[in-house]
Amino acid sequence: MAKRNGFPMGGGGNMASMMQQAQRMQQNIERVQNELAEAEIEATSGGGMVKAVVTGKKELKEITIAPEIVDPEDVEMLQDLILAAVNEAMRNADKYAEEQMSKVTGGLSLGGLF
């Protein structure tokens, strides 16, 4: 069989099958991306006194602060707790997105598609 660039020429059925698989993968990736936009991932800090909720697309949706943690004399601590909760929620969202995409791509890295 003739070869071009080291690959066999012809074999149209195999190419068609690969194209179908790629199209299915693309559809699954789009589905997962839509699911990520709806998914809510949360994290807490300060023993649950501050809670942050983000989407799987890392959009901050909610911050909940327990009233008893609000101390006008120590605003800096509250700011630190908020940052900690938001940053942890973002890390959790990254991990969740990677896990969901890996299910679709079989671990194939697609470099920032999500």
Residue 5 within any structural domain of the chain: no
Residue 99 within any structural domain of the chain: yes
- Number of compact structural domains in the chain: 1
List the CATH number of the domain containing 28: 3.30.1310.10
Average pLDDT over residues 9-15: 66
For residue 17, what pLDDT is reported? 87
Residue 43 within any structural domain of the chain: yes
Residue 22 within any structural domain of the chain: yes
pLDDT tens for 55-113 read 998 999 999 999 999 999 999 999 999 999 999 999 999 999 999 888 887 766 655 55
Residue 38 within any structural domain of the chain: yes
- Which SS3 state, helix, strand or coil, does residue 54 take? strand
Give the residue numbers spanning the domain of 20: 11-105
Residue 67 within any structural domain of the chain: yes
Residue 91 within any structural domain of the chain: yes
Buried b (16+ CB within 10 A) or exposed e, 29-47: beebbeebeebebbbbbbe
Residue 6 within any structural domain of the chain: no
pTM over 0.85: no
